[in-house]
Structure 1
């Protein structure tokens, strides 16, 4: 039986920018290549990390995978079905949660927010009521379900964002910096929820994060992007092997952050193509 997954092959995304130049302010077109030949997989039940510095192409890649924007070239399939041609079908089976995103109605309660977003996906009646109760319990907000969101802390709002992202029971969920700006305790609670979504609920999860320790803790597989390209990929252990960092006379193995910066530095320095230790 074929594994259910999202698969992207050779994704490209170009933007055409118009610049006004010269005395008469004539317009010149400039093509910006935001994503260059990205191929990746997000299997169900797995947490896949996409790491890279700002401007690496992470958000653009997520937007293409989520059918928010179309790729300029390349293929995206979900469970073997063309995701570009069937984008409405895809949108019913995915959801996106961004850290720091103000995409809740602050004057409404948590329950009212989830009721509204559930109705947008056609969830109603007893099914919606039961789903709201289950999701609020999952993210630890059942005791404050009837308090307006404007009175929530930042961490509580982010937990509600995750509940919102699950209201349509997606097969795949894209988490873009889900713990951004949160304190250590709340971030740990959210990481626990993310882990359970993959391992207990069989969700396929794509995670982008600036917190390298978060990727080390959660991700089954990692892609490293720089300048719109995948420059390395593998498990945490495979990336350490790729980094050639087997400890000799050292007291501690290099962490993923050191590996990430070394791979990016090497890639920019010698122009090497994507590195992988996977078949």
Structure 2
């Protein structure tokens, strides 16, 4: 039996629109198109892409909420279609943008209900509910109807619901959407601890700093197809996007300005001159390599006095946008 979540040629095509106003509607494009990837146990794996890339559709197929059109997906060797019941016992889903709890029940009643659906033993369930309510900061609101919860409180309860069965694999679709910063930080800590204990986690998020912090490996999809894979650092480096080095002088220095222009010409860097809010001369170099050391040395040797240097490396967000543009 193969460990982890594995997909081969996973494809989802939704039915064409109604023919009420068109005789021949165009053939629908696949929402997910031949996707092959792996989510191992004991690690957080990212699934990234722009809106409409197919992330949520992929997660819903893995969660057995949608049937693939073609291709296969397995969880520890169990097929998500043929063995859907067994798969559901091993996974859980937390989706930030969807209602996943019942508004006419209290927080505690929701967790008790979902725990029974997963056949969590009653003695274990009572203790686990208390632990999860403490984890998401809802112990005092446990007896309140969910319809009276704020959006953030509902999302925190959804997180507790997603952990109620102690899943072997956790599917996180924008899990921190709408959460206050302290709760989002606590959730990231919980996710990291779960992976450390052996849980496999698949994470989609628009907060890419969150992905860089948590994910060992990332899959990038566009229009439902895999376009890149690797660690966040590998993906960023592979796009050869420019570093931005901004250097501010204490006073005008014509010789230093000339030397910077010569450096930019030699390196093939983009250079821009302007002034900062205090009127001091400022130069910015953009190049795939970090030229901060060379720029600083060049300015000092040419007689310039440096007030400030700031280096902005390319980010994972820059890399994702560049891949989508290509």
Per-residue deviation, residues 156-187 of structure 1 (Å, max 9, x unmatched): 22121111011122111111111113333332
Is the aligned partner of 1:256 residue 2:298?
no
Is the aligned partner of 1:5 residue 2:4?
yes
Higher Cα Rg, which structure: 2
Is the aligned partner of 1:210 residue 2:216?
no
Q: Which residue of structure 1 lines up, in the alignment, with residue 125 of structure 2? A: 128
| Structure 2: runs of 5 or more not aligned | 242-287, 293-310
The TM-score, its normalising length taken from structure 1, stands at 0.85
Q: Which residue of structure 2 lines up, in the alignment, with residue 191 of structure 1? A: 188
**Greater relative contact order, per chain length (Cα 8 Å cut-off, separation 6+):** 1
CA distance in 2, matches of 1:85, 1:253: 47
SS in 2 for 1:17: coil
Q: Which residue of structure 1 lines up, in the alignment, with residue 69 of structure 2? A: 72
User: Is the contact between residue 44 and residue 198 of structure 1 (CA under 8 Å) also seen in structure 2?
Assistant: yes
Is the aligned partner of 1:146 residue 2:188?
no
CA distance in 2, matches of 1:254, 1:235: 14
Is the aligned partner of 1:106 residue 2:106?
no
SS in 1 for 2:28: strand
CA distance in 1, matches of 2:101, 2:199: 23
Instruction: Output the aligned Cα RMSD.
Output: 2.1
Q: Which of 80, 86, 98 is the aligned partner of 1:83?
A: 80
CA distance in 1, matches of 2:100, 2:19: 34
**Count of aligned pairs between the two proteins:** 262
TM-fit CA distance, 1:8: 0.7
CA distance in 1, matches of 2:25, 2:173: 33
Q: Which residue of structure 2 lines up, in the alignment, with residue 228 of structure 1? A: 224
TM-fit CA distance, 1:146: 2.7
Q: Which residue of structure 2 lines up, in the alignment, with residue 243 of structure 1? A: 239
TM-fit CA distance, 1:217: 1.4
TM-fit CA distance, 1:122: 2.2
Residues 240/147 of structure 1: CA separation in 2 closer, same or farther (3 Å cut): same
User: Is the contact between residue 18 and residue 30 of structure 1 (CA under 8 Å) also seen in structure 2?
Assistant: no
The TM-score, its normalising length taken from structure 2, stands at 0.74
